[in-house]
Amino acid sequence: MKSLIKNLDGIQITGFIISIAISSILLIRQEDTITSITLGLALAAIIQLFDIQKRQSDSEERLLQANAISQVLYRDEWLLKHIRQILHGYELVNGTWFELFKRRASDAIIECRNVLHSMAEGRLMTGLRSPHTFGAEAFERAERSIKAQRPEKLVIGEVFMPKHIFELTAPLFSVE
């Protein structure tokens, strides 16, 4: 039943209702039966043609998007391998009954998208002691500026940042 409803969209349903209504009105008014039925069928056929054209346009757009993605994946084998693994895991999780896993899978993909988007804009948020924490390389390779925000519990001269490193790097970036 679900697949039947999925395949019948609003345009089709509206078209059939209109064609049936017009045919019924003409039959009730005792117009020519063959003409009434022919007009109803013609209206249904025209609406079906509009629906087919709309579906083809939507399919064409999806094919163009899929082609653009496949070109990127074709050029980068590493990315293709990992995207396949992500898709496989996502499909497995979405095939389960456990809603919490499904929500977390969606959140993980959105989180990945957001991190990549931020990096594309030149921003990177890292946690303390993360393998991606800014170090000397970031200072050497920065083209314009680096903005760092220190955690509330950062104590200069103790565990997180030795005092001499803070004093050397302080002029290079703003700390909020």
Q: State whether the Cα torsion 60-66-71-72 is positive or negative.
A: positive
Interval 10-31 mean pLDDT: 77
Residues 6+ apart with CB under 8 A from 153: none
Encoded tokens for 93 = 């999780």
Extents of the domains making up the chain: 9-69, 76-123, 126-176
Band of pLDDT at residue 158, cut at 50, 70 and 90:
very low
**pLDDT tens figures, 46-59:** 888 888 888 888 88
**pLDDT tens figures, 60-89:** 888 999 999 999 999 999 999 999 999 999
Mean pLDDT across the chain, nearest whole number? Answer: 77
